[in-house]
Every structure is written in C-alpha cells, then in structure tokens.
Amino acid sequence: MGFERAQMDPKHLQLAKQLRHELHQHPELANLEVWTKRHLIDFLKLHTKLEIIDQGAWFYAIYHAGKGRANIAFRADFDALPMPETIDIPHASRIPGVSHKCGHDGHAASLAGFALEIDRMGAEHNIFFLFQHAEETGDGAKQCAVMIEDHRIEEIFAFHNMSGMALGSVNVIDGTAHSASKGMTIRMVGAPAHASQPEDGANPAFAIAKLIDAIPDLTSQARNKGLVLCTVVQVDIGQRAFGLSASTGELLLTIRALYETELDQLQARLEELAQTLAERYGLKVSFAYNDVFPETVNTKESSDKIRRVCREKGLPLIEMKQAFRASEDFGHYLKLTKGAMCYIGNGEAYPQIHTFEYDFRDDIIETAVELFKGLACERREGAS
C-alpha cells in the first residue's frame, strides 16, 4: 500500500487529541459507559465511512479490504476509575469522584485516530476497531471476545500507556505480559455467644487468623515456579458489640500469579485450608470471586511484528525484562487467537497510572497510531 511510513495527518491528530479531552471530561465507571460509547460512535460516524456494529455495552467498527484478506483487530478500552480529579488541567473531569487515571481515554482516542487514518488511506487487511468497556473489573474482554470467533479474527493488538518507561518508547515482551488474578472472599459463619462464655458459640476469628498466618507459606518461592501473591484486602469479623462473641467473618483477598495454573493451585490450597479450619472450629464456609483476570500471554510472532514495525518506522524499541504483576483482561482474546499487547512510555519520571497526579500524555497518540498503521500493513506469511 505504501502508506506505512507516512506520518499521521495533522488534522486527524488534532481531532484525536480533542476527542481525548472530551472523553476525559466525561469519565464513566466500568459497565456504566453510556455517554462514552455514544460519543465514540458519533465521532466515527461523523469522520469516517466505517461500518459500526453496536453491541450494547461495547462496539466495533470495520474497514473492509475485501474477501480473502486477513481479519485483524485492534482493541482499546474506555472505562474510568472511582478517583476524583485533583490536578488543574483544562480538560478536567466534570464527574465528581470519577476520572480517567489509567489513560483509557487516550487508548480510545488513539484507536479512533487510527480509524481516521485507515478510512482515508486503506489497509492491507480487514481491520476491526474494537472499543471495549469494563477493563478495570475484568468484565469487558470476556464479553467482547465473542467477536474473535464471530469474525474469525486472526490476530489482535493493543497498547497500554505506561509510566516509568522512556517517553514515546514501545516496550515489548514475549510470553506472559500480565499476571492472572482474582478477588477471593472467604466467608465463615459460626454461632454467637455471650462474650463472657465464648465456648458456647463458634467464633470465626481464630480460623481467619490462621488463614492469614498461612499466606507466606502458600505463596513462598519454594512452592511455586513463578511469582505468586496473596494480598489481604479486608478483614471483617463480628460487630461492635462488646457483649457478644463474633459469629460471622469475611476475609477478602486478591490472589495473583504469573502463571494461571499456579493461581488455580493457590485458590485450591486456600479453599482446602479454609474447609479444614472451618471443620475444626465448627463453622460453615463459602467462597465468592470477583474481578477475575486471566494471564495475558503474547504470541511471539505478533510481538515480532511490533518489533519489525518499530524498526521500519524508527520508533524507539525496548525489550521488557519481566511481566507486570498487574492484570489485564486482554488475555481473554489471546486465549482465542494470536496477538500481543505492548506499552508506550509516558516518561521515566512521569506520574504513575492510578495516581492523582497522572494524566494521559497526548504526545503518545501519534506513536500509537503509527505503530498500528504499520501493523495494519503487515502481510500474512505466504501472501503474495
């Protein structure tokens, strides 16, 4: 096609930056992104001729290159965080207690900017622009993954902005890029008793204490091949009543592992220990799970394409030495097709995501768009 070395149209770049500021001013939490989705659809309808497929909570747009061409997807998330905007910026959040402190506004604006470029210039493949809701809770990709099978998507790409990395650099890794994780709630129910006669009841405090005490051993390096973590999020036992021995309790944990198999092992060990302790102390025990994220495992072939595009376009490329502890629901797509997620640097000393001082850097929108344009031009192996 010959456009892969072309720079982004300045008008498209300005539109993408303006869109990013508009999204930033109207942040919405996971599974509540009504205005955000509508605004993105309206933007694409106004500025492109792409086909729009509205799926309720999420949507995607399609550039049709023709039959027999590969189906390649690019994904951006668009939910915000329950954090107030405390920095003084012209495009500050107008929604109290909610702000885009992870940069998903920038991800969505970058994908929209990429859509403008492809609509104008064309592409080697059929390109699917996937705008996903609810990444922060892990719900979104699990629901959107139906698109992978419906359209036989052969490959999918995404980027995340990341502080602590050189500004404008593209950072890649083969294999596991993000750990698997889930929120685990262990609930124990016993029987109340007078505080002066605790032996007449069944108090879950001792069982929960022993569970917490067992965490260092269950997550020790000696037991596991990769990183395994179990973070105590909340302990809630009994009530503020000094005449009663506690009869109910909940232990909230975030369990996390570099390898999903070891996350499953940790969950099984915690459940087994909780069952044993419940029997010992005369308690009933139950388990609940929230915010379930799979491991995100990049396909080397796809990561290599990112490397190749960076070399061709002169984009700074950095090889990551280890995966992130944090989770990312992009892993749901990579269970169904090949693909890769990379990371574009905000600067080594730039405020970290999920902090009050953070705001997505408009500087990296063009980097993301140029990277995606190069990937859209990649030919399939064996293609003439």
Helix (H, G, I), strand (E, B) or coil at 228: strand
pLDDT, residue 4, reads 41
Cα–Cα distance measured from residue 329 to residue 123, given in angstroms and rounded to the nearest whole number: 27
Position 6 scores a pLDDT of 58
pLDDT digits (tens, 9 = 90+) for 328-359: 999 999 999 999 999 999 999 999 999 999 99
Instruction: With CA atoms as reference, report the closest residue to 78 among 25, 134, 147.
Output: 134
Mean pLDDT of all residues in 75-79: 98
Q: Report the pLDDT averaged over residues 178-187.
A: 98
Per-residue pLDDT at 1 exceeds 50: no
| pLDDT surpassing 80 at residue 2 | no
| Residue 231 pLDDT greater than 50, yes or no | yes
- Give the helix/strand (H/E) hosting 303: helix 300-313
Rounded mean pLDDT of 197-206?
Answer: 98
Burial of 227 (0-12, 13-18, 19+ CB in 10 A): middle
Q: Does the pLDDT value for residue 383 go beyond 80? A: no
Per-residue pLDDT tens digits for 261-309: 999 999 999 999 999 999 999 999 999 999 999 999 999 999 999 999 9
The answer to which of 2-11, 42-51, 78-87, 209-218 has the lowest mean pLDDT is 2-11
- For residue 378, what pLDDT is reported? 78
pLDDT at 379 over 80: no
Mean pLDDT confidence for 16-45: 98
Percent of the chain with pLDDT over 70: 97
Strand (E) or helix (H) holding 172: strand 170-172
* pLDDT level of residue 384 (50, 70, 90 thresholds): very low
Which residues have C-beta within 8 Å of that of residue 100, sequence separation ≥ 6?
Answer: 23, 24, 27, 80, 81, 93, 106, 359, 360
Q: What is the 3-state secondary structure (H, E, C) of 25-61?
A: HCCCECCCCHHHHHHHHHHHHHHCCCEEEECCCCEEE
Rounded distance between C-alpha atoms, residue 266 and residue 226, angstroms? 12
Mean pLDDT of 82-97: 98
**Are 170 and 306 spatial neighbours (Cβ–Cβ below 8 Å)?**
yes
Q: What is the CA radius of gyration of the chain?
A: 24
Query: pLDDT confidence of 192, banded at 50, 70, 90?
Result: very high
Cα-based distances in Å from 66 to 62, 157, 367, 375, 379: 11, 21, 27, 18, 14
CB 90 within 8 A of CB 21: yes
Q: How many CA atoms lie within 13 A of 259 on its CB side?
A: 8
Q: In the structure encoding, which two tokens stand for residue 155, read together? A: 């490959």
- What is the per-residue pLDDT for 26? 98
Q: How far apart are CA 111 and CA 123, in angstroms?
A: 15
Q: What domains can you pick out in the chain, each with its CATH number?
A: 10-177+295-377 (3.40.630.10), 180-293 (3.30.70.360)
Separation of alpha carbons 118 and 202, rounded Å:
65
Evaluate if pTM is beyond 0.85.
yes
The per-residue pLDDT of the chain, averaged, comes to 96
- Between strands 126-132 and 284-293, the pairing is unpaired
